[in-house]
Amino acid sequence: PIFMKCAFVLAMAAPASALNLFGGAKKPGRGTLYSDITQTIGNTPVVKISKKLNPTQCDVYAKCEFFNPLSSVKDRLALAIIQDAEERGALKPGDTVVEATSGNTGIAVAMLCAQRGHKCVICMAEPFSVERRRLMRMLGAKVIVTPKAGKGTGMVRKAEELCEKHGWFLCHQFENEANWKYHEATTGPEILTDFSGKRLDYWVTGYGTGGTFHGAGRAIKKERPEVKIILAEPEDAGLLASGIPTERKADGAPVGSHPAFKPHPIQGWTPDFIPKVLEDAPDNLSDELVPIPGAHAIATAKALAAKEGILTGISGGGTMWAALEIAKKAPAGSIILAMLPDTGERYLSTPLYADIEADMNDEELDIARSTPSFQLIPGKEPVLAA
């Protein structure tokens, strides 16, 4: 307690330069003012993973997409699609925007609609986390929940029906070329800039729509063809691994559910069809396909939080698990970059937090009892002052 008191006094008295508050040479502030929230999308940081999680002779980095304003890579997709539709005249002020989503795209689209002045309706299958519904409603969206049995294709069908009946604008995130083209123009060049003059041997990503893989992958391969691109998908839903194509309607949307699909815990990844945005990527873009066990994705997301202070979702855990597996077999000195698509706060009601309790555990209760004041012990009267 004495040490803690002294440390606090010293910290309060020390100048900012001594505390290194701004990371050494980094200057405070961004040096610019933004006219709206959408201008803050992109330019997410790349962070090195320590030897606590990566004990190999390779270096592993993470591109942290949760630094986007609504905390996921889907902010890029939403901006791309809405901006493209507005520029083409397909979307006018006050129009209603509709999308089918596992959550992150819906949250991002709701943000764009709130900022641009559009109405927003999101269709979302029942199993996806309830906190995502609340976030979308907080942003002004109407959320239509579809039955679990309908899977991803069911929520897509509902979105299509609503647009056909009401004349609303459908984002078509799984088919829209604006999706991958935005990643080709932003995400890929950001990676190339951050690794300019530096080694980069592997880039690891999963897929939801396939936009990041397709667009950023194109940009990376064009400038640095030696970089190996590793594509990950859930082990329980090996759609690409099956080799079976998705049957499509004229607009590219799936006709039905893919026969290789099984439910999996990696929310945001691999719907029950192969997205057209993913299918349209060049055949040689991926160098290796890695199946991700759901339990390992969850465990790695937890390890990132506990060992690195990086709070990402199950999909981020899955991507990082693939990167760490690559690091085990890659030549010594290899540099590996993994995409972390979103924040772990989107998963509070999912298996990621299944063993994280809200109440104090035995160890925490022992700490609480170690001093006499302000104790809240189950079965006893609260203690304020000893």
Tokens read off for 107 = 């949250």
pTM: 0.91
Total Cβ atoms within 10 A of residue 263? 12
Asked if 44 contacts 299 with a C-beta cutoff of 8 angstroms, the reply is: no
CA distance 170 to 121: 10
Question: Active-site residue among 63, 74, 221, 276?
Answer: 74
Using CA of residue 151, residue 152, residue 158, residue 161, what is the dihedral sign?
A: negative
Nearest-angstrom CA–CA distance, 245 and 258:
8
Checking 348-353 for CB contacts under 8 A at 24+ apart, the result is 348/129, 348/131, 349/129, 349/130, 349/131, 350/129, 350/265, 350/267, 350/314, 351/265, 351/298, 351/314, 352/298, 352/301, 352/302, 352/313, 352/314, 352/317
Three-state SS across 272-284? CCCCHHHHCCCCC
**Contact (CB, 8 A) for 76 and 148:** no
Q: Note whether 301 and 266 are within 8 A (CB).
A: no
Identify whether the C-beta of residue 191 lies closer than 8 Å to the C-beta of residue 63: yes
Q: What SS3 state is found at 217? A: helix
The CB density around residue 341, as the number of other CB atoms within 10 Å, is 28
How far is the C-alpha of 278 from the C-alpha of 239, rounded, in Å? Answer: 12
Mean pLDDT for each consecutive 10-residue tract of the chain (386 residues)? 41 48 71 97 98 98 98 98 97 96 92 98 90 95 94 92 97 96 98 98 97 98 98 96 95 92 91 94 96 98 98 98 98 98 94 95 96 95 90
87, 114 in Cβ contact below 8 A?
A: no
- Of the candidates 205, 210, 212, which has an alpha carbon nearest to the alpha carbon of residue 184? 212
The CA distance from 232 to 215, in Å, is 16
Between CA 377 and CA 105 the distance in angstroms is: 42
Distance CA 122, CA 136 (A): 8
Cβ contacts of residue 247 below 8 Å, gap of 6+? 254, 255, 256
Q: Residue 305's pLDDT is what?
A: 98
Q: At what angle do helices 314-329 and 294-303 cross, to 10 degrees?
A: 90
Question: Residue 9's pLDDT is what?
Answer: 41
Residue 48 is predicted with a pLDDT of 98
Q: Would you state the pLDDT for residue 6?
A: 42
Q: Report which of 157, 101, 109, 110 is spatially closest to residue 129, judged by C-alpha positions.
A: 101
Cα separation of 386 and 114, whole Å? 51
Is-catalytic flag, 74? Answer: yes
Q: What is the pLDDT at residue 2?
A: 38
Cβ neighbour number for residue 162 with a 10 Å cutoff: 18
What's the confidence (pLDDT) of residue 14?
Answer: 47
**How would you classify residue 343: left for phi > 0, otherwise alpha for psi between -120 and 50, otherwise beta?**
beta
- The distance of Cα 134 from the centroid of its chain, to the nearest Å, equals 18
CA-wise closest residue to 206 among 331, 314, 347, 59: 314
Residue 258's identity, in one-letter code, is: H
Cβ-in-10-Å burial (0-12, 13-18, 19+) of 9 comes to exposed
> What DSSP string describes 136-175?
HHHTT-EEEEE-GGGHHHHHHHHHHHHHHHH-PEE--TTT
Catalytic pick from 71, 129, 286, 315?
315
